Amino acid sequence: MSAMHRKRVVRVPASSANLGPGYDVLAAAVSLSLELEVEETGRFAVESDLPGIPLDRSNLCVRAFERLRPADGLTFRIRSAIPPSGGLGSSAAAIVAGLAAADHMFELDADLFALASELEGHPDNVAAALYGGFVVCGPERVVRIPPPPELEAVVVVPPTPVPTSEARSAIPAELPIADAVHNIGAAAQLVLGLERADLSLIASALRDRIHQPRRKHLYPRSLEVVETAPKIGALGATISGAGPSVLVWCEWQQTGQVVEQLRARFPDTVVRRLNFTDLGADVRAL
C-alpha cells in the first residue's frame, strides 16, 4: 500500500447498441449508470448489494481492473441502476469502470477502448459507455455525435431475460444482399438524422432487417413493443443490444403520452423514461 491513501469513484453510463440498422456499429449512452468506488484499504474485497453479482476476483469490474494492475489491498464497492442481462450494456459499463479506475489510479494512460472492446468482444457498447453520446464504430476509428436535444428515450424491459450467447447464435454467418443493402441505407440515414437533429429522418431510419427478425423467437414480446411504438406517438423503437429491452425513441413533447400508453398496453414490463446522455465514463479522485 502506498503512503498516499488512494480512492477513485467511476461513473459509467448504460448503453443501447445496434440502434436498429447499425448492427455492431451504432450505440448510444443512456442516463442510467454504474458507480464503482475503488479504495486502498489494505485488503481485497468486493462489496455490492446487487443480486447475483460475484464478490470475488471473477467480478467483471475486478477482472477488467486486473488487466492493468493487481487488485491486492483494494476494496471495490459497486452500485448500479443498469438492469443485468437486459441489453443495456451492464457488462460494458462494468468493464469500462474497472479499466478506468485502474488507469486513473496508477496514471497508466492505457488504450481503454481497445482493452474494453477485447474484453467485451465487440466495440459498440464500450464505445458509448466510454465516450457518451451516440457512437459510430467504423473500421479504424470511433466517431461521436452529441444527442439531439429534442430526442428522448423510453426503455421497456420485459420480464424474461435473453442470454446474449443465444441472441448471437441466431444470426447466420451469411445474409441476403437485400437485407444488407437495406441496413446500410438505413444506418447511413440514421447517422445523418442524428448529426442534423432531424427527427423525421431518424424516424424513417430505425427499421432493421439483419438481427431483429432473426431473433424474433427469442423475444416476441419485445418485437410487439417495436411494432406498437410508432402507432402510439413514438418516432420508432429498436431492440437494445441483444435484447430483450426495447429502446423507444421519442420527440420530448410526446414522451409522457408514450410512457402512459406503453404502461397500459404492456403491464408485464418495466417502462422507464430516460435521456440520451452526452456523458461518458467519469473518474474522480477522493
- Provide the 8-state DSSP code for 276: B
Q: Establish if 285 belongs to a structural domain.
A: no
Boundary residue ending a domain (93, 121, 145): 145
**Host domain of residue 30:** 7-145
Tell me, what's the pLDDT at 104? 97
Q: The domain spanning residue 175 has which CATH number?
A: 3.30.70.890
For residues 67 and 88, state if they share a domain.
yes
Looking at the fold, whether 174 and 210 belong to one and the same domain comes out as yes
Predicted local distance difference test score (pLDDT) of residue 237:
98
> How much is the pLDDT for 31?
95
How many C-alpha atoms does 179 have within 13 Å on its Cβ side?
A: 14
Whether 279 maps to a domain, the answer reads no
Any bridge partners for residue 272, and if so which?
Answer: 155
How confident is the model over 36-49, as a mean pLDDT?
97
Name the binding residues.
83-93
Residues 83 and 156 in one domain: no
Q: Which of 145, 176, 209 marks a domain boundary?
A: 145
pLDDT reading at 83 higher than 90: no
Number of independent structural domains in the chain: 2
Q: What is the pLDDT of residues 110-146, one digit of tens each?
A: 999 999 999 999 999 999 999 999 999 999 999 999 9
Helical packing angle, 255-265 and 220-228, nearest 10°: 140
Is residue 1 assigned to a domain? no
Q: Binding site for ATP: which residues?
A: 83-93
| Total-model pTM | 0.94
List phi, psi (to 5°) of 27: -160, 165
pLDDT value at position 1?
Answer: 45
